[in-house]
Structure 1
């Protein structure tokens, strides 16, 4: 990447990178959740999705995108410059397209947008019929044209995408990208690199990121900036170990594998033949999981702990089998391109698992989370300014080899109360709404100072977490950090110094959600 940039083959897309931070508060008017536990991960996911799809949230981002495009991008390339908006889901793409067209029309701007997503999207809030790329509400003037071809001309200036055109899309007129999707690793590099194509007169690009942390994006790019290096070597025996583990589950036999492979390799085979070959295996496993699930519920009702554990173990074995089969297929597809396993049994299992996994739907049920009484009470989208994204430096991340596959375990979902979850979300995101936000104060100020303490680093490495939490040195180091922060955060520090309750609250956050003990040990391991 460095050589390509220096020699003018591509542009440095991080030169004008601006990040935004969302702050919001939620309130739950209903009381029905006070005593009902919900799955923590699913509730958090549901709440965040609800906020992202909230009309006010989208409208604020749309306004930022359109006004930035008009002010900064339109003047580029003699008015031919284009932009891409990367959304987090197909549903978000639909909502964005409706909102952006509405805003452009209300302002009377001479701008036209396209939206690209696959399949159909059902969104009763936006319209009674499913939405497609070809729907009149989405791309009314497309008239059967390919989106790539339509966007190439002068008619359209902004392209909204959802899991499309983030890789392999070559449009040199792209000068700006507005990111509203979580990106990581190579995906961040591939997505933002849609902007790096050279074009006569093109020397400026813009990235406005509503979601990702600048440091994470920079780390992803630095991996490929000089020389992409591996920190270790992938062991080709991973596939052999996985094959052995999967066979030992005893959920299929060689005859069933051969039956599916024979249909796959027969050019004249019909879909019904494939279904007849794979369905008996899938049905058997689905019935085993359902039986174990029912047995678990019955044992819990009868308060039979031994029977409940046995049923739960059976469910977990089936869930782990499915995860291992998916891992086998992914790893084999990669390694078989560069390593000859000299045994067709590996390929046959890859074919078998490909069709089996499509049918194994067990364990994906989610407890519903009622968000009908949740309301958005505060919203603030703050421009954090242009970030210093310096690719050249001393340290560059290395690519990790494949390792530890097939060694996972099924984890119990963490349970929490909905109101508690809302409270945590508010704690996490309300920092920009108030200078008094204790979590920002703890994580951005106190935690940073405590991680520099050699005394605490030594205690964390030689004590259990319980011993560390009760260390008198921890109290004194926290107090030192509070006093050091007194000038910049007078009111918060004064409260902590003068109130034991506030001090204990800060300590509880530091040793709990802020993971002071764990971070110190991670530091110790890295040094």
Structure 2
């Protein structure tokens, strides 16, 4: 494939998605003969939308048609209008997670994999999601411009991609420039898509918001030899991880459901909320740790090395949420509680806001900053699954866990307020089984972290406790 051109690159990716990635169909757009499946006004693949609804919610749909006077065409148009308005008001991901109410009838737009396999009906519905990819999609009602790739979930556009072939002189830089200068940020589909990827055979980048020439793309690479870029791939393109791992059906649905969220604009600001999409290293680290914990259970410890600006707060939020609902192959919960040790108030609120978007349930996250009685109740109670407390209370946490050998706990230690190379951090790495990292001579002492590390070291490994730091 040394002479791979852009069209062949598109075809190669699409063939993999349908042949090995679990996608249901590849569609090919034609600006001279637009397909009726895609509604450019509402930015929906209505054929896939109603195919999904009919396969998963036929009774609910029949009720809605009745409310529209028994006119199926009128019902389809009315619901498509209602869905489009909901996506503009609430965002695409929120609509996928929580559905739409039309004339009092709730219609779901996706079914995500449940945390356990104890609900066969939900598992069956999850299997009926329709993931499709369209090549050269004419996306604008007043233009013949096309998108190289557009990924859909049940007819809802969730991602776009512009592809370039580095082997013929076109690179990710040209794809980024195309988004910045040749893609109207006000276009309905481009506004609603969760993420936009610029991709060549060597590197990838992504953004969640198009803003013309001000559009900011972030690298979406694996990293190579402690640096940027991607390692060589003996089986294909360096960027194959994007379609083989990230866009793969189960991984993609999981990412949309349990990673993507929005951060509100600062109070008093006129800025729009920011959609947060994980960087590759964040997504990869969280999945690796939860997979290991699922297989090994409680008792093992894990260390993730973060550099400044790598998004540790979001990584902690994603990890805490996943660990709090993690089940093993026997459908038994791996951890009864997740405890986050931090002194950062901003992380407290961020955890609560982020996890509420995933679950719409209050009380999942509880902050403990009063007395030990409150902490004891949280550690043993039924409501809170994620407990946030301070470094000073860490010894009490481990004492309490010692007294509850039949319960399992995950403890996530937030070190973002201090250097990864300080004396206390080095002690903690020793506790977690890492031998590298000498203390920096100019690192100021942190008594709270020193106490945390000393307390952990004194207790050694506990079979009902896993550290994540």
TM-score range, shorter chain: under 0.3
Bigger relative contact order, structure 1 or 2 (CA pairs below 8 A, ≥6 apart): 1
The structure that is strand-richer by fraction is 2
TM-score by length of structure 2 reads 0.26
The structure that is helix-richer by fraction is 1
Bigger Rg, structure 1 or 2: 1
